[in-house]
Amino acid sequence: DWRRVNVTNPELISQIMDYIGPSLKRHEGCDIIDMYPGAGAWSNALHERLRPRSHILMEPNAGFYQPFLQSLLDKPGVVMEAKDGIDWKELGEILTPKYLPHQVEKPRTYGPDAEPPQRNDTLLVTMNLSMHPSRRFLGFDSLSLMVIHQLIGAIRTSGLFQKYGLVRMLIWTKPDDMRTALVRHVQGRRRGIIDAEMNTDWVREVAGLGLVEPTERKKGHWSRSRHLDVQSAFNAARRMREHGIIAPPNRQSELLRMVQPFLDSGLTEMPLSETPGSGAHIAEELEELQRRVSAGEIVKGTAAFLKYTRRKHYYNWIMARNNQKADLMAGLDAVKDLYDAGDLEKAAQADAEWNQRFTGFVGPTRVQTISARDNEHIFYQDPPVLHWDRRLYEPLIVRPEDFYPNIPCALLDIQPKAPHWLFRDIGPNSVYRAGDFFELILRHTGNSAAMPLSKAFASIYPGVKEGVLDQCRSIHDTSRHGSPVSGWGELSTRCLNEEQWVDIMQSWVHWPFGPNFFELVSSLVVDDPGMGASEDD
């Protein structure tokens, strides 16, 4: 396929091997399934590091890449099959005792007393899904997005190679195609991301572009506070020091270099004054324009002076909006404090007043207040909700020349975990079909992820608020990252952490008036006939 991109720089590959080397040690002597090895630089290095007992190359263009892979094929235990690893039928032909005699398929069991799947370090899967330009497929912007989405889904169902236990995956992909498994703000926390959080110990960007500055188009509600990004990098840098992880100087991210002096000084968090807030980019431009006006370089009546005037009004508008946002968020915290203090009469009155004030705002103020609140809510938990904010290290920064053709790619490290038994409760042989209910609920609420929880759930089935949500203490208890505030002060679907989803599903399966699975499917399909898999899930 002419779209394929291969990592070719031996320096980068060697640096990656050293960077994650301690965690690779447990896979020494394992079986490796290697999809799309291509030019073979990555495959050779992985083989040298792990000395596997078997190394299966699945390369659909075997004839073309044979010369590049011959040195690897000459080693004992290495075989190549001209099969497409992301064609699940062809992958199934490899997942057999013929190729994997040491692997044992684990039986699926259901219920609260069922033995959960265990890690299987004797099998490692690696693949290169990097393509440029991306190949669109079904409802996905790229084939890679769909494949990563399906690989995450296979963990919960013990499908594909996860039938042998919880199998780690190392995946090369384009940075844009990570968004179905790893995002950096709450706005991207959709069904695929929530699924990844429920089913994995970690999803890490080992190497890539790191956190790049948001474009002008994405500023505002499609990004989050710069302070959160910097604090997240500071936390990652602290974990790196605790674990003795050192990034090569030529691969360090801008954020890592920025936070290291503060870490050296003994601080436990980044000072707010050191991180620019919303409008900082406008302030810098306005300061330069003001200097030129004062120096007489810009005079009234010119296009440059008109630009200066517009920038000044825009900056004042941003600052006013930021003040409104900060005031609303402080007011929300005050209402929560009243509930926590047990003064329910005052709390209820303050609750109603806050909601009345909030609904009086429209447009950017409302949207950005919700986004800021939700981003802070999922960040300031222990551990943070997003895998990105839990990362053990900052990604190594790649350059275009590390790849052929010169298109930057990223390496994802995905370590599955056994999800809660309710999320594994899937199919007609399960106890409650709780996992199937969970998927339907996630899909249905995806388009209203920023709405208050009671509104987002209201259209699922009549009585769901009283029968399910009102029975869940965790979504109302501030000590468990809930919110007792009503209306727009409630949690949104995209803010629910794993414990809260478990609480909701436990209430759902014990709801005496709840629908059975087929009744819910029928109800939701009638309400939303366009339901189906896509990257927006």
What pLDDT does residue 367 have?
86
Strand partners, 31: 54, 123
Please give the structure tokens belonging to residue 178.
Answer: 């990570």
Q: How far apart are CA 472 and CA 164, in angstroms?
A: 35
Whether the per-residue pLDDT at 73 is higher than 70: the answer is yes
Reported pTM: 0.88
What pLDDT does residue 413 have?
98
Q: How far apart are CA 151 and CA 120, in angstroms?
A: 16
Residue-wise pLDDT tens digits, 371-396 = 999 999 999 999 999 999 999 999 99
Rounded to 5 degrees, φ, ψ at 7 are -80, 130
The residue-averaged pLDDT of 404-428 equals 95
The residue-averaged pLDDT of 277-281 equals 56
More confident residue, 227 or 223: 227
Whether the per-residue pLDDT at 444 is higher than 70: the answer is yes
Residue-wise pLDDT tens digits, 304-327 = 778 777 777 766 766 667 778 888
Whether the per-residue pLDDT at 114 is higher than 50: the answer is yes
Strand partners, 200: 416
Residue-wise pLDDT tens digits, 15-57 = 999 999 999 999 999 999 999 999 999 999 999 999 999 999 9
What pLDDT does residue 215 have?
36
Whether the per-residue pLDDT at 7 is higher than 90: the answer is yes
More confident residue, 300 or 87: 87
Strand partners, 126: 34, 170
- pLDDT-derived band at 527 (thresholds 50, 70, 90) equals low
The residue-averaged pLDDT of 483-507 equals 96
What pLDDT does residue 212 have?
59
What pLDDT does residue 361 have?
82
Whether the per-residue pLDDT at 213 is higher than 60: the answer is no
What pLDDT does residue 529 have?
43
What sign does the dihedral 371-374-379-380 (CA atoms) show? positive
Residue-wise pLDDT tens digits, 136-146 = 777 677 888 99
Residue-wise pLDDT tens digits, 156-182 = 999 999 999 999 999 999 998 998 899
Name the one residue in this structure whose structure tokens are 């009671």: 454
Whether the per-residue pLDDT at 533 is higher than 60: the answer is no
What pLDDT does residue 263 have?
92
What pLDDT does residue 285 have?
73
What pLDDT does residue 222 have?
58
What pLDDT does residue 217 have?
36
In angstroms, the Cα distances linking 331 to 347, 350, 361, 531 are: 12, 9, 14, 38
In angstroms, the Cα distances linking 285 to 280, 281, 290, 295, 357 are: 9, 7, 9, 16, 33
How high is the mean pLDDT of the chain? 89
The residue-averaged pLDDT of 259-277 equals 77
- pLDDT-derived band at 62 (thresholds 50, 70, 90) equals very high
- pLDDT-derived band at 221 (thresholds 50, 70, 90) equals very low
Among the listed ranges 76-85, 105-114, 174-183, 264-273, which one has the minimum average pLDDT value? 264-273
